Structure 1
C-alpha cells in the first residue's frame, strides 16, 4: 500500500525548532504492519517526555532522521492499513504510544483479540508499558479525544494513588501537589479524594486557581507565591511541575515535617534548574517511574484484575472530566506545531484539551 509518510521532528536541545520530515515508503517485511495515525493528544506530559528524552530514553522509541532531532511520543489512535503480521488484520483500530506522524511501522508480537506488542528491536530496552497497542472499537471523536488526553496521565495518577495509600501516606495529614491543574495531578487527587483518609492541597498559579478549586478534588488551593501559607503539618509532596524553585519553597517551609518528596513530571519545563535537591531540608526527592510500579502491581493483582480496576476508575474520572475539560480538535501538522508551541509558552488553559486530527 502506498502512503505518503510524514513525521514532525524537533531539536533535542531546542524544543521550539520543528520540521516536517518525509519518511521513505519501505515495503512491509513479513511480521510487520503499518498503522495510519488518525488522532493524538498534546499535553504537558509530552513536554515532560522531551525534557527527560535523554535520561529516560523517550527519544529512543521513535528514532529521528538525525542525532540532533527527536520525535516526541504522543498517545492516540491509529488503524492498521497494511499487515504482514499474524493475527493483526487490516482495519483493526488501536490505541497506544505513537510519534507525531501520520504513519508508524510496527512489528507486532503476542497478538490477540486485546492487542499486540511492538517487538521492534530498538524498543525492547524501554518499559514494556509503552510498547503495547490495545485493540479498540471506534468511538465518536469527542470520546476518543478524551481518552487520548486523559488515559495515559490517569494511569500515572492511579499508580501514585495506590503507592501513597499503600504507604499510608507516610503517616502524613496532607498530600501536596504542584501543577495542581495538570491532568496527572488531577487524576491522582481524584483517586485519593475518593479513597479518603488524607487532606489534599493543590499548588497552582494565580491564573489557574479558580479552575483548580472548581474541580472539587482539593481541600485547599495555594498559589505559588503563597507557599508560606502551607500548613505546618506532616505532609507528602508530589512534584508534577519540575520547578526547582517551587520544590525548594515547599522543602524550606516544611523541612522535617515533609515525610516524602516525589518527582513525577516537568510541566514547568523552562524553569531555572539551579536548586540542588540534596541540599534541601527534609527528604531527598525521588523519581516515580510509573511503568515500574505498574509492572509490580499487575504482577501482584493479576493482569486482568489490574486492567479491570484501572478501566473502572478511569471511566468515573472521564465522566467527571466533562465538567472541567473541553476537547478541542485541530487538524494537520501545522496545527500540531502551533499547539506544541502554545504548550511550551504556557498559553493553553487548564480547561482546554488539545487533540490533533490527521
Structure 2
C-alpha cells in the first residue's frame, strides 16, 4: 500500500473543499496503480462538477466520503507506479481522465501500443471516451515540451475539433454567420481557430473586459461584447452557445428572429445549464463515433493530431502557465477557476 491523498468538493457547494489522507488498496490481478503527476484546472472541470449528477461525472471517481462529496474529474498525465500486467510497465507515462488525488487504481483492457481502457466495474457503463488512457510513446499528438498545452487544451480541443467538424460536415447549416458565446474561452477559440476562413463569418461574443484579448487571437472576424448583440447583421445565423447565459440567448432570438437558424448548446462556463433552452445539444462523442465510422480510428487520430499541431504552434503564444504544487495548489487553482478569477490568458497547471 502507498500513502496518498484525495481532494473533494461539496456537490451542493463547489467552493466547499476537503483534502483527506489515506493509503492505496493492495492491487489484485489485472489492476494497475497510477501516480497522478500533472493536471490542469479549467472551466471545463467546473462544468463536469456542475453536471456531475445529470451527466454522471461524479461516478468516474467515487469519493468514498459520502453522498455530499464528489471528485471533479481532471485531465492530465500519470505514471504507472505498480502493475500486475506484463504489458504495462512501471514508469510508463499516460494521458487521460484523472481524479484530484495522488493515485488511481485502474483495470486495463484493450491494451495496445496506444494505451488501454479502464474497465473497472463502476466505469463500465459510463461514456467510453473518458475511460481511455493514452501512452505518450507512439501518440502522434504528444510532444514532451508541450505537456502543459496538452493538459490545458487537449480535452477542450477534442471537443472544439469535433464541434467544428460537425458544423463543417453539415455545410455550416447554410449559415452566413456563426456566433460563438464565451468567445475568450479555450473551447470556443479553439473551435473558431478550426472554422476561421472556411465558410461563414465568425463573430465572438464575450464580456467587455475580454474583448481586447479575444480580438488579439485573430480567430474571429468580429468580436462584440454581450450588450452589443443588436449590432449583429440580420443574416442566417448559427449560434454556438458555450456560456449558457439565458439573457444572451434571449437577446439573439429577439434580434435575429427567424434568421437564427440553429441554436446549439455546447457547454457552459457560468454554471447556468443551457441544454433545455437551446434548440439542440452538441455532444462530442456522437460526432467522434460518426468519424470513426467514416475515417477509421487511425484516420481520426491522424486528423486530430494534424489539427492539434496546427493549433499548438499558435496557442503557445496565447497562454501563460501558472504552476501550483500539491493538494494546496490544486485547491487554490480550483477555487480561482470556480470563482472566475483566472484571466483568459492564464492556464492553471498543478504538479502533484
TM-score range, shorter chain: over 0.9
Does the 8 Å CA contact 2:41/2:333 hold for their aligned counterparts? Answer: yes
CA shift for structure 1 position 86: 4.0
| Equivalences for residues 100-119 of structure 1 within 5 A | 100-119=100-119
The 4+ residue runs of structure 1 with deviation greater than 2 A are: 21-25, 137-140, 273-277
Q: What's the counterpart of residue 151 of structure 2?
A: 148
**C-alpha deviation, 1:139, in angstroms:** 5.7
Tell me whether 1:325 sits opposite 2:324 in the alignment: no
Distance of aligned partners of 1:69 and 1:286 in 2 relative to their CA distance in 1, 3 Å threshold: same
Paired with 1:320 and 1:244, the residues of 2 have a C-alpha distance of: 32
TM-score by length of 2: 0.95
1:275 to partner: Cα distance: 11
Contact 1:97 1:133 in 2 (8 A): yes
* Contact 2:244 2:274 survives alignment (8 Å): no
CA–CA separation in structure 2 for the residues paired with 1:51 and 1:274: 12
Measure how far apart 1:305 and its partner are.
Answer: 0.6
How many residue pairs align between the two structures? 347
The answer for the alignment partner of 1:190 in structure 2 is 193
In the alignment, which residue of structure 1 is the partner of 2:285? 291
> Which of 337, 341, 348 is matched with 1:354 structurally?
348
- SS of the residue corresponding to residue 209 of structure 2 reads coil
In 2, Cα distance between the equivalents of 1:85 and 1:292? 32
Q: How does 1:230-269 map to 2 (within 5 A)?
A: 230-269=232-271
Contact persistence 1:244–1:275 (CA under 8 A): no
Q: For the Cα contact (< 8 Å) 2:265–2:274, is it kept in 1?
A: no
1:274 to partner: Cα distance:
10
Map 1:113-128; keep pairs closer than 5 Å: 113-128=113-128
Q: How does 1:152-171 map to 2 (within 5 A)?
A: 152-171=155-174
For residues 36-71 of structure 1, what are the alpha-carbon distances to aligned partners after superposition, in whole Å with 9 as ceiling and x for unaligned? 011001100011111111111111111112111111
1:1-358 residue pairs with structure 2 within 5 A? Answer: 2-65=1-64, 66-137=66-137, 140=144, 143-194=146-197, 196-269=198-271, 271=272, 277=277, 284-358=278-352
Deviation at 1:276, TM superposition (A): 7.1
Q: Is the 8 A contact 1:86 1:111 kept in 2?
A: no
1:188 & 1:170 partners in 2: Cα distance? 16
- 1:280 aligns to what? none
Cα distance between partner residues in 1 of 2:24 and 2:159: 36
Instruction: Give deviations 1:295-323, integer Å, cap 9, x for gaps.
Output: 22112210001000001100110110022
By how many angstroms is 1:266 displaced? Answer: 1.2
Distance 1:168 1:292 in 2: 18
RMSD, matched Cα: 1.6
Matched position secondary structure for 1:208: helix
Q: Is the 8 A contact 1:47 1:266 kept in 2?
A: no
In 2, distance between residues paired with 1:203 and 1:52?
24
Give the structure-1-normalised TM-score.
Answer: 0.93
